[in-house]
Chains A and B, each alone.
Chain A
Amino acid sequence: MRRAGWILLATVLLLFPLSFDNPYYEQLGSLVLLAAISASAWNLIGGYAGQVSVGNAVFFGAGAYMPLLFYKLWQVSPLLGFPAGIVVSLVIAVVIGIPTFRLSGHYFSMATIAVAELIRIVVSNWDFLGAAIGLTGPATPRGWWDLVYRSSVPYYYMFLAVLAALLAITWWIQRSRFGYYLRAIRGGERAARSLGVPVSRYKLYAFMLSATFTSLAGSLYVVKFGFIDPGSGFGILVSVNMVLIAALGGAGRLFGPLIGAAILIPLQTETNNLFGGGGTGLTYILYGGIIVLIARFEPGGLLETWERLRARRASRAA
């Protein structure tokens, strides 16, 4: 039964862009997948390990700037910047991670926000990185390696491949000792330590893994949109979006972020289409309202609601 579910999901995801001949839906689908990648990466540190980072944009931005920087300096394919973004992100993860993980709860979250803001301001004023104006990429492709496509479909499949890899890794972690340690850490650090869990080390590993995939998400974003500036790379809304999407679907659950993205991205776009033109900010009021409702009534996300309903039905049947 479970296997049928997986096959169905895989089929839907694979065939989605081919079933419509509509560039708008193709774009929407690719945006959903991209958001799911960042949110699933966040999920590793924020969901499974329970360390609520609101500054993962740091890695996203690093991953986004490197490809365009390589293009600006040497006119090479942005693809070559992908590994550079990952390396930079790993360095940042270690440098911030070590001192910041000593903090707990709100202090940790505040520190991650502060670091992201600090980096955003520094980049805003650094001419080499385009300062506030940002960097642009190749507008028309010189070859397939520039990764510039008119249609969203190639991007869709690139994102799908990366998401699948990330979810596979997450699934493997879930069932391994790594996952066990993370759950123990989330449950209570002091208790975990007393059980012999190497808390600091594993928090750092989770953070580094999260950083790697968030950086990839940034690189993928930038080849699709062809432009990055400090706000769209390092801004606080970028970080908050990752947290929100994972939380909506269910933080700490494998498919939580994907579900969250599948609901929130179309919702965001549709409310902007419906109300945005009128310019009354209704989009944001709705968005904020949804966040408050989730936090207040279902912090475990929609997957938790689903599980609760299923359990109720099962117990009623028994």
Chain B
Amino acid sequence: MKRLLLSATIVAAFSVSAVAMAASEVKIGVIMPLSGNSASAGKAAVAAMELATQIVNEPHPELKNLPLASGAGLTRLGGAKVKLVVADHQGNPSEGQSQTLRLITQERVVAMLGSYHSSVSLTATAVAERYGIPYVVGDSVAANITGRGFKWTFRTTPIASDFANNYMDFLTDLKKAGHPASTVAIVHENTDYGTSVAGTVDKAAKAHGIDVVADISYNANGADVSAQVLQLKQKNPDAIVFIAYTSDSILYMKTMKSLDYLPKFVIGDDSGFSDPAFISAVGNLAQGALNRSAWNIGAKNSTTWRINEMYKAKTGRDMDDTSGRDMQAAFTLMDAINRAGSTKPDAIRKALQATNLKPSQLMMGYRGVKFDKTGQNTLAATYLIQLIGEHYVAVWPARAAQHKLIYPFKGWK
């Protein structure tokens, strides 16, 4: 009798633990800037990734085109729930490396997501490479993140050169429509973000035969941009490309108004221009500004619209492009883990390499997700969106346009 009871207990114990293991957690590490200048962007991105995890962990049949949304948890891992372990890298590359190391060795995450700042992505992916843990970069655009021959780094977002080519393609279309588009000025802040993107825009312009009449590099978070605006006023280019963070973007708009310079056309490279603070502060001065976004809220009751509603309920604001791109990276990673059917890093890596998501399965406007040998998503793409009223609406390319392009730049008029 006692022996029966003992064996029954042992069997029960094993079953419980087996069930516990099956319904256990899969940890994914996330590093983002959660303090310092980029904290608001970092927090917004984390909220988006948490939402992705929520959608995967709970049944959401209304979002059925997204992989793993209909069911609860990772279906091929016994319904295991995904848990995000979030760390703050403070915008500091060495802190990024330390935190990544901690997440990998202490928290034992099976994969990593991150990191907003390109400089941090560079060091953090190096750690993941040394430890053999997959790292999916959702947002950093510096070219050399996927150019180092790494095997464990994957990137879902389009990169700087993609955006630059999009802008120049757009300007070429503008010219075809009969508007002036032969000269461009590039205004960029002088940290790694501004410098690297400006370089690609310059190259793309030359390749498209567009003349760069001014390349204005300025000190980020400076107190005054009057001199820069006066330079622009003097050169009067057909279009200005701003590569700036929030504070500077706001300052430029205000300064252009105060110096009565209404540019013919304004293109803002995401970042500052996408920050809701920009719209609330100077939206009425920047009407018609062009921006890039692979995110579009879309028609009512569409998947993207529903996601936006959920995001709004969670954070009080609309989804922005950067957060959306991070959320897409999270979905891509969770789908790969599921397809691997295992939490072993090598299996996840192979699954990532085999990724082939169709545009209909995505929340972002990419043409798909398929990684090349360097880990870069070759089907990454972006829309160009224009600020009309209080929202950005897609106006280019023509096939995705929801609104006709407004030309010239309305600004504050």
Contact = CB atoms under 8 A, between A and B. Distances in A.
B88 interface: yes
20 contacts: A22-B105, A22-B106, A23-B105, A24-B102, A27-B98, A125-B190, A133-B119, A134-B119, A134-B192, A136-B144, A140-B129, A150-B130, A226-B123, A229-B93, A229-B119, A272-B95, A276-B99, A277-B34, A279-B34, A283-B35
Given A27-B98, A136-B144, A225 B195 contact: no
Interface in B41-57: 42-43, 46
A226 B125 CA distance: 11
Contact of B122 (A124, A132, A227, A278): A227
B192 A277 contact: no
A132 B195 CA distance: 7
B102 A273 contact: yes
A75 interface: no
B92 interface: yes
Nearest to A221: B94
Contacts of B106: 22, 24
B101 A272 contact: no
Interface of A: 22-24, 27, 31, 124-125, 131-134, 136, 139-140, 150, 221, 225-227, 229, 231-232, 269, 272-273, 276-281, 283-284
B332 interface: no
B87 A276 contact: yes
Interface in B235-259: none
**4 tightest Cβ-Cβ pairs between the two chains A and B:** A279-B34, A276-B88, A23-B105, A133-B192
Contacts of A273: 87, 99, 102
B190 A124 contact: yes
Nearest to A27: B101
Contacts of A281: 35, 39
B90 A272 contact: yes
Interface in B184-203: 190-192, 194-196
Interface residues of B, number: 42
B149 A139 contact: yes
B99 to A, nearest CB: 7
B131 interface: yes
Given A226-B123, A226-B126, A227-B119, A277 B86 contact: yes
Nearest to B122: A227
B187 to A, nearest CB: 15
B97 interface: yes
Contact of B101 (A24, A132, A227, A284): A24
A23 B149 contact: no
A16 B123 CA distance: 26
B170 interface: no
Contact of B190 (A132, A136, A283): A132
B150 interface: yes
Contacts of B90: 272, 276, 283
Which of A150, A225, A269, A278: most chain B Cβ within 10 A?
A: A225
B160 to A, nearest CB: 11
B137 interface: no
A316 to B, nearest CB: 44
Contacts of B195: 131-133
B201 to A, nearest CB: 15
Contacts of A269: 98, 102
A211 to B, nearest CB: 21
Given A124-B190, A150-B130, A227-B93, 20 more contacts: A22-B106, A24-B105, A131-B195, A132-B191, A133-B195, A136-B144, A139-B148, A140-B129, A140-B149, A150-B131, A221-B94, A225-B94, A227-B119, A229-B93, A229-B119, A229-B192, A272-B90, A273-B87, A276-B35, A280-B35
B379 to A, nearest CB: 26
A133 B98 contact: no
Given A225-B123, A272-B88, A139 B39 contact: no
A229 B123 CA distance: 11
A125 B220 CA distance: 13
Contacts of B217: 125
A236 B43 CA distance: 26
Nearest to A268: B95
Contact of B97 (A132, A134, A225, A277): A225
B142 interface: yes
B154 to A, nearest CB: 16
Nearest to A277: B86
Contact of A232 (B43, B46, B94): B94
B101 to A, nearest CB: 5
B88 to A, nearest CB: 3
Interface in B94-143: 94-95, 97-99, 101-102, 105-106, 118-119, 122-123, 126, 129-131, 142
Interface string B274-292: 0000000000000000000
Contact of A279 (B42, B150, B191, B192): B42
Contact of A227 (B34, B35, B86, B126): B126
A260 B195 CA distance: 38
Interface-central residue, A23, A133, A139, by most chain B CB under 10 Å: A133
A280 B46 CA distance: 14
Contacts of A276: 34-35, 87-88, 90, 99
Contacts of A226: 123, 126
A272 B131 CA distance: 22
Contacts of A140: 129, 149
A128 B353 CA distance: 35
Contacts of B42: 279
A227 B89 CA distance: 15
